[in-house]
Amino acid sequence: MVRLIRDTWAKSEPFIPEISQFFYGMLFTLAPATRDFFPINMEVQRGRLVRALVHIVQMVDRPDDLVPFLTQLGRDHRKFGVIPRHYEAVGTALLAALKNHLGPDWTPEVERAWAEAFTIVARAMQEAAAADVNPASWSATVLEHRRLTWDLALVRVQPEYPVPYQPGQYMSVEVPQRPRLWRYLSPANAPREDGGIEFHVRAVDGGWVSRAIVSHTQPGDVWRLGPPLGRLSVDRTDRRDVLMIAGGTGIAPLRAILDDLAQWGENPKVRLFYGGPSREDLYDLDELRALAATNPWLSVTPVVERGDEAPGCVQGTLAEAVTQHGSWPGHRILVSGSPTMIRATVSRMLVAGSALDQIAYDPFTID
């Protein structure tokens, strides 16, 4: 089944724009209500859902990764008001779009493989959604918006009810400036008694939501927050030391974990490599160094790619800096940052001898 899916997808991938257009046309015909799940400007959405669906279906032979991921995804999709017949419409539209462009390559065996895989995915998501007793989403009021650099902002929000997230998790966010354009952000603090959440947001090229948050968010804005997702965590009962690797705003979920660990007297030893192109990209370095100064279990190594004017920093990429120390045997390894940074770092560590089951990162980077 998986081989058939991957082979046919390889033939389909060059035609993503055409497949996507057919898919959405079919979906909105079968289930008109689903149009309200997406932004008004569908150009922003082009190809994302199709790529995400295929990404998930291709994981069907990796149940240890797929099942927890689908459980979280099913809970997350409650915020749209998704009901079982919407899953059926999505599956029908996806298969119809692929069939339309594959022609003779769409054999009965191929159709059966795709249908079986999508059924597995849809069933797991629906069961998770039905079992969730938490709200489908939370309203949160912006209390503070502060520019840390010209393209980076700290935003502090107050949810109407505490969001039950664990340190290291992330959640989807919808802001009033960009309705229906949900994006994933990671809290940079451990859960607090008052429920307040701090986000670090960098404006990226072509980032409709991130640029709106950095440039136009104001106190009093009301955001919507989806359910918490992700599996980055540190188990204090695990005797392994911890290696953390963060690039840019990827420091946020790891900072939340450190914020939580700082409440305890005894913790595993944590070595944090925090990197970016230049010293100014390490916007949280002073705070992290202050945290390390009062918590002997934590040490911080700053890494910059351009290091001529960055005393005290290791020069190079995070992948280079980390693997200079070998394979880190006996460590739990957490990696957080851009998709490019995660791929480069994890690949380099595997070559250096680190075991894949040592390394944790949140792989779902498709919007």
Domain ranges for the chain, please list them. 1-131, 138-229, 241-361
Res. 222: pLDDT tops 90: yes
Res. 76: pLDDT tops 50: yes
Helix axes 2-12, 108-131, angle to 10 degrees: 100
We find that the CATH architecture of domain 241-361 is 3-Layer(aba) Sandwich (3.40)
Res. 105: pLDDT tops 70: yes
Lowest-pLDDT range of 49-58, 178-187, 210-219:
49-58
1-131: which CATH number, 3.30.450.20, 3.90.79.10, 3.40.50.300, 1.10.490.10? 1.10.490.10
pLDDT number for residue 307:
65
The residue ranking higher by pLDDT, 306 or 98, is: 98
* Cα 73 from Cα 286, distance rounded (Å): 35
Torsion, Cα 112 118 123 129, to 10 degrees, reads: -170
Task: Give the tokens for residue 299.
Answer: 């040490």
* Cα 235 from Cα 242, distance rounded (Å): 10
Q: How many residues appear in the chain?
A: 367
The residue ranking higher by pLDDT, 366 or 161, is: 161
- Three-state secondary structure along 39-107? CCCCCCCCCHHHHHHHHHHCCCCCHHHHHHHHHHHHHHHHHHCCCHHHHHHHHHHHHHHHHHHHHHHCC
Res. 365: pLDDT tops 50: no
- What is the pLDDT confidence band of residue 366, given thresholds at 50, 70 and 90? very low
Short-list 323, 319, 313, CA closest to 343: 319
Task: Give the tokens for residue 158.
Answer: 């107050």
Q: What is the average pLDDT score of the chain?
A: 90
Res. 36: pLDDT tops 70: yes
Task: Give the tokens for residue 29.
Answer: 């015909």
Amino acid residing at 167: P
Sign (positive/negative) of CA torsion 87, 2, 337, 233? Answer: positive
- What is the pLDDT confidence band of residue 16, given thresholds at 50, 70 and 90? confident
Segment 239-257 shows an average pLDDT of 95
Amino acid residing at 269: K
Segment 329-345 shows an average pLDDT of 93
284 in Cβ contact with 149 (< 8 Å)? no
**How many Cα atoms sit within 13 Å of 298 on the Cβ side?**
25
304 in Cβ contact with 321 (< 8 Å)? no
135 in Cβ contact with 195 (< 8 Å)? no
| pTM of structure | 0.84
Q: For the sheet with 138-149, list strands across it.
A: 183-185, 170-174, 222-229, 138-149, 152-159, 197-202
8-state DSSP, 187: B
Task: Give the tokens for residue 340.
Answer: 């490019």
pLDDT number for residue 348:
95
Residue 272's SS3 state is strand
pLDDT number for residue 318:
95
138-229: which CATH number, 3.40.50.720, 3.40.50.1370, 3.50.50.60, 2.40.30.10? 2.40.30.10
